[in-house]
A and B are shown apart, each in its own frame.
Chain A
Amino acid sequence: MDQTTRTSDGPGNALPQAETMKGVVLVADDDVAYRTLMSDVLRTGGCDVLEAFDGAQAVQLAKERLPDLMLVDVTMPGLSGYDVCQRLKSDPLTRNVAVMLVTARGDIDDVERGFEVGAFDYVRKPFHGRELMARVRNALALKRKSDELRAWQERMSRELDVGGRLQRRLLATNPFFGPAFEVHMTHLPCLAVGGDLFDAFMLPDGSLCLYMADVAGHGVAPAIVATLLKAVVFQVARAAHVPDPSVICRDIHAEFCHHIQNPELYATLFFAVLDPTATRWTCMACGHPDPIILNTDGTDGSAALSGEGDVPIGFTVRRGGQYQAAGEASSPAVPGSVLFLFTDGLLEARHRVTSEMCGRERLVAAVRQSRSNPYVANHAEHVLEILQKDGFDLSQDDCSALSVELVDPRTVLSDSTLSPDYDAVAEAAARTDRLLCAAGWSEESAGAAQLAIMEYGSNIVRHGRVPPNSRIGLQIRLTGPLCRILFRDRGREWDFAGRFESTREAPIDRESCRGLSILKAVTAQCDFFRRGTENLGWLVIRKDVDQVMARKLAEEPG
């Protein structure tokens, strides 16, 4: 067969694999005869064809229509095929359009140049129609695969991103505050994220729900199960008519088994409810270690909340009778007492030197030690610090802890709302100063608390964009040598923590940083976070801050 001059197989001959010729092809050639010829071949093959009569039109059309493939003649007046290719490749919009250069020239320099400017392939004129179609078919197939791969990569990347953020939110350890309680949480993952899970939230009737859970195993599957479980727990608890832990656990178990039909996947769970008057705990242990309760006198009151419990969530060994009310435990909730939930990673932590296991007794002692330290507010975190300091290795398993302190109403100095203006903030700050002086604080230390309230409050007024009809919540508590200040506002979400970190090297005359620097200096602890649509600012001032600051000043050079 004559291969050099034939340009078509002629009409009527069915082309093999015609369906793989689907795609949009742009043909650019200033020679109308060749352009028409190429277009005809491609249309016969099943492509949608666009035509351009010069380089400039080719570039323009490519941007508008984003074809799958372009056949571009190399020698055109104005923009050459090489120029067209270069322009398309340098524009992010058209970078992925495959360009095949068509030319009568054929020495190695031209070929090389073509690939250098980003051409996908080369077709020589005069071309055989079947060769052209074979190359175009190949190019379109590759383009399709490449598009699919890119789409898959983007989806995976998005999903992993969502997954990662979800995991971080899952184990967010922001404190949770209510009028009668203060909840702190902490988590030490061993390597990657595992199956520990915990949270605290309010029910519509004013009860507080909290739980600690541990999904069996390590790795991605338990992490995914943990994500599901968190959603299930929240949904079931919020939908419960009556906040009975046994009923809630039963429904959680049912939902869990409905979604997860794998007997190897289950989760231990401790679920506790504090009633709306904050006077009674009711809870259910589903294969999970019983919590520790520390009474106000420091004695171990855990026995009061030790009930029969039931099997872990997702266990299907027993038929019927699961999660009955008889398995619940209930006890009075005493102001000033502490409830401490944890996962078995803590219990089973081994001593680095003696290899003995931490065990429950040692854990109780650590909670007691934390509780008796008047400078500690976050017992969850502090207990883990104590264990590590005592030589226990917490890195072999995920370790999570949740502490609930029931607020002694006598410790609440003030609990009010302010209108979002400077005068109201100044008045609240001055009032706190007077209250602390009356409680025996020095002028400087009381002044530090006044300053902290003024700085943070002013920040809300100035930058928070609080709706005019909304008020700022402010609670001041005095527990021993600690003044605990809690701000709540419904202003906009902002990266307070990020700005706070950036104040480290800020010069004095940068207004935006001055206030935050002051906050950092006068507070022993300063946490900002967001829950739903509410911003919370938690500041802790020590009674001896005057001495702390004096010491710091004395140590400064010059």
Chain B
Amino acid sequence: MEATFVIDKGVGVVTVTGPLTAAGVDSFREQFGGWWQNASELRNVVMDLGGVEFLDSAGLGALIALLKRVTERGGDLKIARLQKKARMVFEITRAYEVFDILDSVEEAVKACG
């Protein structure tokens, strides 16, 4: 699993590629933590999960933890390009009630205002 971080129109965009599961979740959280600390002016984040073909409860847990960090700063975390298998997990756990899920990164960035 790989993750990159860019800033687009004042919004942090994290692009994740590969499975987001118990097998790689710890390093992902650490990585994000580093970015988030360095980008102290940022409030909002978009998670581009277009490259995440598989997600489990640990992966969802990581997203929830990241959502909490972002909302602590008064911002929001939106999900973009959720794939089939990951969507299944969101539906089972009703995570769609907690996250905004949009079809593209552009839409998600715009929605961050």
Contacts and interface: CB of A to CB of B under 8 A. Distances in A.
B18 to A, nearest CB: 10
Contact of B57 (A430, A514, A553): A514
Contacts of A458: 21-22, 56-58
Interface residues of A, number: 28
Contacts of A422: 21-23
Contacts of A425: 22-23
Interface in B64-113: 64, 84-85, 88-89, 91-95, 97-98
Contact of B21 (A426, A448, A517, A521): A426
Contact of B22 (A462, A517, A521): A462
B60 interface: yes
Interface centre among B22, B93, B98 (most CB of A within 10 A): B22
A461 B92 contact: no
Contacts of B60: 514
A549 B87 CA distance: 12
B56 A455 contact: yes
Contacts of A515: 56-58
B84 A443 contact: yes
Contact of A455 (B23, B57, B84, B85): B57
Contact of A450 (B23, B58, B85): B85
A461 B22 CA distance: 10
Contact of A454 (B21, B84, B88): B21
Interface in B1-51: 19, 21-23
Given A444-B84, A451-B88, A454-B22, A508 B56 contact: no
A423 interface: yes
Contacts, number: 74
B22 A549 contact: no
Contacts of B23: 422-423, 425-426
Contacts of A448: 88
Given A426-B22, A451-B56, A517 B91 contact: no
B89 to A, nearest CB: 7
Interface residues of B, number: 22
A451 B22 CA distance: 11
A509 B64 contact: yes
Contacts of B91: 549, 553
Contact of A514 (B61, B84, B88): B61
A170 interface: no
Given A454-B56, A518-B57, A518-B93, A444 B22 contact: no
A11 B21 CA distance: 89
Contacts of A455: 56-57
Contact of A451 (B85, B94, B95, B97): B85
A511 interface: yes
A422 B88 CA distance: 21
Nearest to B55: A451
A454 B88 CA distance: 14
B92 A518 contact: yes
A443 B85 contact: yes
A521 B84 contact: no
Given A426-B22, A454-B22, A461-B22, A511 B88 contact: no
Contacts of A426: 19, 21-23
B84 A447 contact: yes
A354 to B, nearest CB: 46
B46 to A, nearest CB: 21
A508 B93 contact: yes
Nearest to B56: A454
Given A430-B19, A458-B58, A521-B92, 12 more contacts: A422-B21, A422-B23, A430-B54, A444-B85, A455-B57, A508-B94, A508-B98, A517-B93, A518-B57, A518-B92, A549-B88, A553-B91
29 contacts: A422-B21, A425-B22, A425-B23, A426-B21, A426-B23, A430-B54, A433-B54, A444-B85, A444-B88, A448-B88, A451-B89, A454-B56, A455-B56, A458-B58, A508-B64, A508-B93, A508-B94, A508-B97, A509-B64, A509-B98, A511-B57, A511-B61, A514-B60, A514-B61, A514-B93, A515-B57, A521-B92, A522-B92, A549-B92
